[in-house]
Amino acid sequence: MTAFLTSADLLERNRKWSESTRVQDPEFFKRLAAQQKPRFLWIGCSDSRVPANQIIGLSPGEVFVHRNVSNIAHPTDVNLMSVLEYAVDVLQVSEVLLVGHYGCGGVHAALSGRLPGIADFWLEPIRELRRKRAMHLVGLEGRALEDRICELNVAEQVSVLAHSGIVQSAWERGQKLLIHGWIYSLDDGVIKDLGVTRDSAT
């Protein structure tokens, strides 16, 4: 297993990866260095078990990525919003993938009680969701409740993105842009489309 890897081991692994990649495709790094033109923006959880490229089978250069705890799109988050702006306005991605996952530690923490300091602020949208959607959560508890909130959180964040000035402006000027809400299962590695896709008509 990888439990005793050190950072020096990682540099060694990197050297080998670079070598084998160049053996397989001598032009690979030259092409990427010249330009990135990803079609997708992935916004997902920071959880180490949910690595964007690997899960959807994409190579370097094929997906622009932003990750934070519990894949939340705070409208005031200048980090996420500048990623979104660059992806939509400059890279002109055609699809945004907002990807949550079942068993999310951030969702669990938010529902388990008060957290210290900044995490408490960060995860407030999750608790707000539970208050707002209480009627739809009747009878659910424990893991079932958390998993349902993981799904609702994805739908909510898709809505936040769709209402952002960046996305609204893109749609107004006729740019093709879809925003999908997906959820990933840690149990079997399968992504489910939650059917909450937004486009300029919705």
Interaction site with Co ion (CB under 5 A)? 45, 47, 104
Q: What is the dihedral of CA 154, 78, 53, 10, to 10 degrees?
A: -130
If the CB atoms of residues 109 and 177 are measured against Co ion, the closer one turns out to be 109
Selected catalytic residue, list 66, 104, 147, 180:
104
Selected catalytic residue, list 66, 101, 130, 198:
101
If the CB atoms of residues 84 and 147 are measured against Co ion, the closer one turns out to be 147
Contacting residues for 127 by C-beta, under 8 A, at least 6 apart: 110, 111
- Read off the tokens for 62: 């094929």
- To the query of whether residue 101 is one of the catalytic residues in this protein, the response is yes
Residues 93 and 86: their CA atoms lie apart, in Å, by: 9
In angstroms, what is the minimal distance from the CB of 25 to Co ion?
33
If the CB atoms of residues 32 and 115 are measured against Co ion, the closer one turns out to be 115
Selected catalytic residue, list 47, 66, 130, 150:
47
Closest C-alpha to 99, from 40, 160, 183: 183
In angstroms, what is the minimal distance from the CB of 107 to Co ion?
7
Contacting residues for 28 by C-beta, under 8 A, at least 6 apart: 21, 22
- To the query of whether residue 45 is one of the catalytic residues in this protein, the response is yes
- To the query of whether residue 49 is one of the catalytic residues in this protein, the response is yes
In angstroms, what is the minimal distance from the CB of 60 to Co ion?
23
If the CB atoms of residues 38 and 44 are measured against Co ion, the closer one turns out to be 44
In angstroms, what is the minimal distance from the CB of 138 to Co ion?
25
Give the pairing type, strands 178-184 and 191-193. Answer: antiparallel
Closest C-alpha to 172, from 163, 181, 160: 163
Selected catalytic residue, list 13, 15, 22, 49:
49
**By the 8 A CB rule, do 98 and 50 touch?**
no
Catalytic residues: 45, 47, 49, 101, 104
